[in-house]
Amino acid sequence: MKAETLAVISTLSGAVVGWFLSALQHWVESSRDRRRTHANVRRLITLEIQANGRALRAFWEHIESHKDEWQKADGEINRFRLGKAIADTPFPELGTFMWFSNAALLGEAYSGTEIEDFWETYADCSLVANLYQHIVNSDAHAVESSQHHIQTMGRAGVTIGGMVFQRKAADHIETFRVTIERLIRKLCKN
């Protein structure tokens, strides 16, 4: 009986140790897969942010390449002309797909501070895109207003259209300029 008891105990011990080793292997593989997933999420979001930074920098560099048209020699900015330059330049498509498609993994892949920083970055990108649209809409309204006033007042109508544009877009133009320059500095650190 002693031999039989030892055989049962050995068999049970082997089964428990085997189960434990199997669970340990599963846990190690699961941890490795989770770390790999988190690293991939971090990399994809970093790539998306870098692409947004390059797109915004190219957009702003194009506008700045015509700086002599909207900035006076003393450095003062003519907001009307800057606004026209912004409205006449196509705004880039900014990516948010990686951020939103991986939202469920953000809490695991990033610290709370990192998530807040990214959230602020995406909010600034959204703000710039919205301000751009407002500037374009203000420009379209000013053109429409100019055409209406030209019909009734002649050449003076162009000035009125410009005043409408400046009145509607002046604050947005300055906020746009400050925000896009801050975003570019933040996104294009390298």
For 60-128, give the DSSP string.
HHHHHTTHHHHB-TTS-B-HHHHHHHHHTSPPPPPP-HHHHHTHHHHHHHS-HHHHHHHHHHHHHHHHH
Q: Which two tokens stand for residue 174?
A: 């300055």
pTM of the entire predicted model:
0.72
Per-residue pLDDT tens for 76-103?
888 778 888 998 999 999 988 888 888 8
Q: Which residues pair with 71 in a beta bridge?
A: 77
Q: Would you kindly state where each structural domain of the chain is located, as residue ranges?
A: 2-187
Per-residue pLDDT tens for 20-69?
767 767 776 767 767 888 898 899 998 998 999 999 999 999 999 998 88
Contact 50, 145 (CB under 8 A): no
State the residue for tokens 């003393």. 74
Q: For position 43, what pLDDT does the model report?
A: 92
Q: For position 145, what pLDDT does the model report?
A: 63
Give the DSSP per-residue string, 161-174: HHHHHHHHHHHHHH
